[in-house]
Structure 1
Amino acid sequence: MHVLVPTDDSEPARKAIEHAASTYPEAELTLLHVINPTVSAYTADAPYNIQRAIEAEEETAEEAFETAREIGGDDVSISTETLIGSPARGIVQFASEHDVDHVVLGSHGRSGVTRVLLGSVAETVVRRAPVPVTVVR
């Protein structure tokens, strides 16, 4: 079984990794970090510098992957991938193209105006993924 676990180094993402590792201990877990350059460029140290923003996000991804390996332990098969683009679109596309059997992702619990304006990655993945999706709170 191949389980995709999108991660962004948030607490809900950590819980999703824990859930995937404990629920599917024999599965191959792929941790996916999708870098959204349009958002990253405005949150990095040097606004509007997309390359520096991507590099900062790649460092964040590596830290998240290390944390995930610690959570999963030595008995869990973990591989990592980093993509650049829209998070929801990247997750769905990766699941479609890599024989993923299940997606486990964290919910950020957005509500109100931010959910309407920014949309929900988890909600979009649930609606568009070609495989079952588990959302962990």
Structure 2
Amino acid sequence: MTGSATGGKSAVIATDLSTASESMIESETGLNCLGRIGVERIHIVTVVPSNVHSGMPGMGFEKRRKKALRRYRSIVEDAGFDVETHVVRGTPHRRINGIAGSVGADLVLVGSRGKSPLENRVIGSTARNLARTTVVPLLVDRIERGVDEPETIRRHLFKRTLFATDFSENAERAFQSFEYLRHATKEVTLVHVESPKDDTSGGPDPEERLDELVDRLDEWGLDARTEIRRGDPANEILAAEADHDPSTLLLGSRGRSRLRRLLLGSVSEEVVARAAGNVFLVPPPRSA
């Protein structure tokens, strides 16, 4: 593993044992990126849905699961990480959140948009459910869809990062992630979207606020460009992604609440569902 710059972090990688999620685990470049941001221990988690059991006709699930997890462990250990595997039963996003909380994970990594087998659909809807409920930063790793041997769409997880900000506390929390992401980041694009609903009269100038963020990034040795767009926030963030082709979109979420579907769905969840590349979603801390 390339030397950890900050050290001591742990990550949960959720897999449904499909060829799509396998490509995520097999990505040498992706594992290298995790090492660069300080990840040392990886927990590989697979969730068996409650309505699936190993004796179901045609499944052969138990044997496949053990074989796949042994292979995944070997790949990740060979990349220089300490590895633990977890097999749990239940609703995928709830169990993944539970494992992440119990092991004190700093990051959850899940694939999205790939094919997944009948017995466990982690890739796809679970990514969206995790976006609504995650208790730790969530990286949605985009994987090719509709091909027999899918690959990760963006090999470098954080090399070119597009940070979307509305200057809120949630956005500031996500911005602070650059303190460790910088060790795997080469380019940063800062985007602010002015919505028609915003009241900007008498408020701080967005260009000045973006320039302040540029100065902070400069202290971390990162060059950045800025852009102000106008329109619907989710649509404009996705349009900025199309224009700049980043490895990853970085943004904050409003975290868990009874109203999380309303609070999150307006921007963050929409971006997770529709982005072409990876999305790194930073929620409020567990204590919030």
TM-score clears 0.5: yes
Q: CA deviation at 1:27?
A: 1.8
Q: CA deviation at 1:34?
A: 0.6
Match of 1:102 in 2: 248
1:16 aligns with 2:174: yes
Question: In 2 relative to 1, CA 112–63 (structure 1 residues): closer, same or farther, beyond 3 Å?
Answer: farther
Q: CA deviation at 1:113?
A: 5.2
Match of 2:210 in 1: 65
Match of 2:273 in 1: 127
Higher helix proportion (structure 1 or 2): 1
Match of 2:135 in 1: none
> In 2, distance between residues paired with 1:16 and 1:116?
20
8 A Cα contact 1:5 1:20, kept in partner: no
1:91 aligns with 2:249: no
Q: CA deviation at 1:36?
A: 0.7
> In 1, distance between residues paired with 2:171 and 2:210?
11
Q: Which amino acid aligns with 2:246?
A: V
> In 2, distance between residues paired with 1:107 and 1:6?
11
> In 1, distance between residues paired with 2:172 and 2:263?
25
Question: In 2 relative to 1, CA 29–13 (structure 1 residues): closer, same or farther, beyond 3 Å?
Answer: same
Question: In 2 relative to 1, CA 76–112 (structure 1 residues): closer, same or farther, beyond 3 Å?
Answer: same
Query: Which of residues 180, 204, 224 is equivalent to 1:78?
Result: 224
Alignment size in residue pairs: 123
> In 1, distance between residues paired with 2:261 and 2:209?
24
Relative CO higher for 1 or 2, CA cutoff 8 Å, sep ≥ 6? 1
1:28 aligns with 2:173: no
Secondary structure at 1:91 match in 2: helix
Highest Rg: 1 or 2? 2
> In 1, distance between residues paired with 2:240 and 2:181?
21
* TM-score, reference length from structure 1: 0.75
- Deviations along 1:46-81, one digit per CA (max 9) or x if unpaired, are xxxxxxx4x76781x224313423432431111100
Equivalent positions of 1:111-122 (< 5 A) are 111-112=257-258, 115-116=261-262, 119-122=265-268
> In 2, distance between residues paired with 1:92 and 1:109?
21
Equivalent positions of 1:39-54 (< 5 A) are 39-40=197-198, 44=199, 53=200
8 A Cα contact 1:8 1:64, kept in partner: no
Q: Which amino acid aligns with 1:8?
A: D
Q: CA deviation at 1:118?
A: 8.4
* TM-score, reference length from structure 2: 0.38
Unaligned 5+ runs, structure 2 = 1-158, 284-288
> In 2, distance between residues paired with 1:93 and 1:102?
14
